[in-house]
C-alpha cells in the first residue's frame, strides 16, 4: 500500500483510508471490527472517524462510532499500528442540538471538552489528526453556488480556535490538525493565522471529491499543492453511485439510497446517472471494475493525500482497497476527461 506524507509532518498515511461513519448505524460493532481487522491486514494504516458519527447523526447514536473503534483498539491493543483521525463539530446547526446542549462551537471550551470525550470513547490517550468538521462562520459548502455574504457575529475567531488546538497539541492529545468542509478562503485564513501567531499549521482538508463531484478542483486543488494541505477525499464513489449499482433505476435493498434517499438522492438524479452510465461503460470496455476506476482516479490526483472509503461489508471493502493497485492507462484517463468535459458538474 502506497504511503503519503500528511502535510509537512513526519506522519505517513496509506493512500486508502478507512472511513467509519456506518459503524453503529448501517454496521454493527462486530461488522465494524471485521472491517477494521481486514483493512489493517491489507495495508490500510489510516482510520478516520468523528464525534458526530454515525451518519445520519442523531442524539440516539451520537458517539457510537468512536466507541466501536475504541473497543476495537482496546481489544486488539494495536494503537501503534495505524494513524487515527477524528473530528470536532463546528457551529451548531439544525439537527445537531444533541451535541453539547446545542452549543457546539470551535471555541476553547468546546474543543477541550470534545477532544477529551473523543479520547475517552476511542480508549486512547492521543489522536494523530484532529479535524474541524465545519467552519463556525456562515459560508457556502457542498458545491453551493450564488455566494451571498452573511456576517457571523457569533463565530469563534480563527485565532482562538488555533490557540485551543495548540493547547491540546502541547498536552500530547493531538499530533496534527486539519480542516473539513472548508473553502479556499478558510484554508488561507487558518494558514495566515498560524504563521503570524506561531500556532499549529493545518496539514489536511477533508472535503467531498469524486468523478461526479469536483468543486475541489476549482480553487482548493491549487491551495492543497502549494501549501501542502492535501485532500482527504470523502465520498469518492459518490455514495456508491459510481459503482453502477443504481443504474437503470435500481435501488438495492439496504443500500444508502434505499435508506437515506432524501439525504443522498442528488447522486442518482438524471444528470449524474447519465454521466455514471458513460463512466461505467468506459470502465467495462477497458476491463476495469467501475469501482476500481472511480477510486483509482481519485488516488491519482496530485492534490490527494488519502482516499477515504466507506463500506457496509468486508466484500465491498476488499474491492475498494484493491483500487490502490490499479494504475489507469492514458486511454482510460482521456476517456474520463472526455466524459467529464461534456458535463463537468453533474452533482451540485
Angle at 268 between CA 95 and CA 146, to 5 degrees: 60
Predicted local distance difference test score (pLDDT) of residue 83: 98
| Residue 92, pLDDT score | 65
What do you get for the CA distance between the two ends of the chain, in Å? 32
pLDDT of residue 15: 98
- Does residue 67 lie within any of the structural domains? yes
Q: How far apart are CA 272 and CA 238, in angstroms?
A: 10
- Domain extent, residue 165, equals 3-243+298-326
Does residue 290 lie in a domain region? no
| Burial of 122 (C-beta count, 10 Å sphere; 0-12/13-18/19+) | buried
- The x, y and z cell numbers of residue 13, run together, are 498515511
CATH number reported for the structural domain that contains residue 205 in this entry: 3.20.20.100
Residue 255 three-state SS? coil
**Is residue 12 helix, strand or coil?**
strand
pLDDT < 70 regions, the chain? 92, 143
Cell numbers for 188, please give them.
488561507
Question: Which entry of 53, 62, 246, 264 is annotated as an active-site residue?
Answer: 53
Residue 25 lies in a domain: yes
Phi, psi of 174 (to 5 degrees): -140, 140
What DSSP state is assigned to residue 271?
Answer: H
128 lies in a domain?
A: yes
- pTM greater than the 0.85 cutoff: yes
Secondary structure (DSSP) of 57-125: --TTTTTHHHHHHHHHHHHHT-GGGSEEEEEE--S--TT-TTSGGGT--SSHHHHHHHHHHHHHHHTSS
**For residue 239, how many C-alpha atoms fall within 13 Å in the half-sphere facing its CB?**
22
Q: Has residue 200 been placed in a domain?
A: yes
- Which positions ≥6 away from 67 have C-beta within 8 Å? 24, 121
pLDDT at position 147 is 84
Q: Is 260 a catalytic residue?
A: no
Q: Residue 28: inside a domain, yes or no?
A: yes
**Is residue 139 assigned to a domain?**
yes
- State how many domains the chain has: 1
Q: For position 152, what pLDDT does the model report?
A: 84
Residue 22 lies in a domain: yes
Amino acid at each position: 500500500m502506497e504511503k503519503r506524507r500528511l502535510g509537512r509532518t513526519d506522519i505517513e498515511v496509506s493512500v486508502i483510508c478507512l472511513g467509519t461513519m456506518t459503524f453503529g448505524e448501517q454496521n454493527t460493532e462486530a461488522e465494524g471490527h471485521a472491517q477494521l481487522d481486514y483493512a489493517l491486514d491489507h495495508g490500510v494504516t489510516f482510520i478516520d472517524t468523528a464525534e458526530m458519527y454515525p451518519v445520519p447523526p442523531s442524539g440516539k447514536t451520537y458517539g457510537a462510532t468512536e466507541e466501536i473503534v475504541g473497543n476495537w483498539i482496546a481489544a486488539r491493543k494495536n494503537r501503534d499500528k495505524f494513524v487515527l483521525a477524528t473530528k470536532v463539530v463546528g457551529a451548531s446547526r439544525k439537527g445537531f442540538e444533541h451535541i453539547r446542549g446545542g452549543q457546539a462551537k470551535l471555541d476553547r471550551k468546546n474543543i477541550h471538552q470534545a477532544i477529551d470525550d473523543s479520547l475517552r470513547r476511542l480508549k486512547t490517550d492521543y489522536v494523530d489528526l484532529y479535524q474541524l468538521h465545519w467552519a463556525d462562520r456562515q459560508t457556502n459548502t457542498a458545491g453551493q453556488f450564488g455566494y451571498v455574504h452573511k456576517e457571523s457575529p457569533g463565530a469563534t475567531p480563527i485565532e482562538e480556535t488555533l490557540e485551543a488546538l495548540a493547547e491540546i497539541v502541547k498536552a500530547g492529545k493531538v499530533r496534527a490538525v486539519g480542516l473539513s468542509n472548508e473553502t479556499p478562503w478558510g484554508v488561507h485564513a487558518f494558514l495566515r493565522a498560524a504563521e503570524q501567531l506561531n500556532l499549529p499549521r493545518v496539514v489536511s482538508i477533508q472535503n467531498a471529491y469524486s468523478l461526479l463531484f469536483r468543486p475541489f478542483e476549482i480553487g482548493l486543488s491549487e491551495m492543497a499543492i502549494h501549501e501542502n494541505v492535501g485532500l482527504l477525499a470523502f465520498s469518492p464513489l459518490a455514495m456508491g453511485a459510481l459503482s453502477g449499482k443504481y443504474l437503470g433505476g435500481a435501488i438495492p435493498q439496504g443500500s444508502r439510497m434505499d435508506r437515506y434517499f432524501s439525504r443522498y438522492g442528488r447522486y442518482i438524479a438524471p444528470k449524474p446517472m447519465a454521466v455514471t452510465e458513460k463512466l461505467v461503460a468506459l470502465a467495462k470496455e477497458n476491463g476495469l471494475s467501475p469501482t476500481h476506476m472511480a477510486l483509482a482516479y481519485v488516488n491519482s490526483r496530485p492534490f490527494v493525500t488519502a482516499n477515504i472509503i466507506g463500506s457496509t461489508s468486508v466484500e465491498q471493502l476488499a474491492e475498494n482497497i484493491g483500487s490502490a493497485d490499479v494504475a489507469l492507462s492514458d486511454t482510460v484517463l482521456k476517456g474520463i476527461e472526455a466524459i467529464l468535459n461534456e458535463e463537468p458538474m453533474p452533482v451540485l
